[in-house]
Amino acid sequence: MPVDTLFLAFWNVENLFDIESAVRPDKIQKIIAKDIVGWDKTFLDAKLRQLSVVIRSMNSGNGPDLLGVCEVENRNVLEKLTNQISIDGGREYRVAHADTSDNRGIDVAFLYDSDIASTSPDQTFQHWVVKRYATRELFQVNFTLDGKKFVLIGNHWPSRTSGQYESEPYRMVAGETLAYWIERIHDELGEDVGIIVMGDFNDEPFNRSVTEYALSTNDSRVVLKGRNQYLLNLMWPILANGRGSHIYDGRWNLLDQILVSRAIVNGKCGWLVKDNARIEGIEIMSHPNKPGPRRFGIKPNERDSGGFSDHFPVSVTLQKSA
């Protein structure tokens, strides 16, 4: 179905795990066992209903056309999420997903409206950063929109758990890998293919992994004229306003980001950025008693069935270019 605008969003949905008794690899079961004690159908269903509320609220109540998510355990919970959205009166989404080798078994995926976009398993590609074990993921899906290829790359880069600077080299590797992927995509699909990069980068727009290694910038002139395939990071206006998508130790972070390729900046792919990127769900998700989003939690001592996630979603709208 041809459309004139395209609403895209990304959300770290925070530990969307299957129920405690679900079948999973022994290694992952041992790692997450204490976190999911008592995580039964009641908790999972409550989490899915809360996620559905936020997803359906986006795009003026119409839901995203395409939504990237991370921290999901498997395809089963994604199918349950799409079913919940449908039951609640939202869109009928399909799932693009591939299992990763992340140590906790959490994946990156996309939900998409098949009336607008289409893809197939042979149009998906993934890579995970390896420390002494696999961790986090880059997940590429080649969609077809109005008969043209349109590429989305979902990211969940290695965390800062061991310390921001101690763990930074792994995010630099992720950024370098992403930049290589952008070159490869252009080699395979041409210079005028539209590429949207979105995800939880676990670094800020100004950190080296995002700027020097992933080759992103806030200057559209660099994207249009630079020798390398730079990405325009759409989050800088939000950063300038002192806002964020995640709060840690009382401090706002903008770890969740959306970046676009040259062919979207100049419109040669058929699409242009319509508005500034946005943080979604603030009115719904904000904690009533402290700054930041209200978490649902996963561990037995932190579950809050009135919560959602520890990250706000981020979004952007594209419009057809002339």
pLDDT of 136? 67
Whether domain 5-313 has CATH 3.60.10.10: yes
**Residue 133: both structure tokens together:** 């074990």
Query: pTM here?
Result: 0.95
Q: Note whether 226 and 218 are within 8 A (CB).
A: no
Helix, strand or coil, per DSSP, at residue 77: helix
pLDDT of 127? 83
pLDDT of 135? 57
- Taking only the tens of pLDDT, the chain with its 322 residues reads 678 999 999 999 999 999 999 988 888 889 999 999 999 999 999 999 999 999 999 999 999 999 999 999 999 999 999 999 999 999 999 999 987 666 677 899 999 999 999 999 999 998 877 665 445 679 999 999 999 999 999 999 988 877 888 889 989 999 999 999 999 999 999 999 999 999 999 999 999 999 999 999 999 999 999 888 999 999 999 998 888 999 988 899 999 999 999 999 999 999 999 999 999 999 999 999 899 999 999 999 999 999 999 999 999 999 999 7
- Dump strand ranges (E) for the chain: 5-16, 66-72, 93-97, 107-113, 124-130, 134-145, 148-156, 194-200, 216-217, 231-233, 246-248, 251-253, 256-260, 271-273, 278-279, 314-320
pLDDT of 137? 77
Helix, strand or coil, per DSSP, at residue 282: helix
The structural domains of the chain, with segments of one domain joined by +, span 5-313
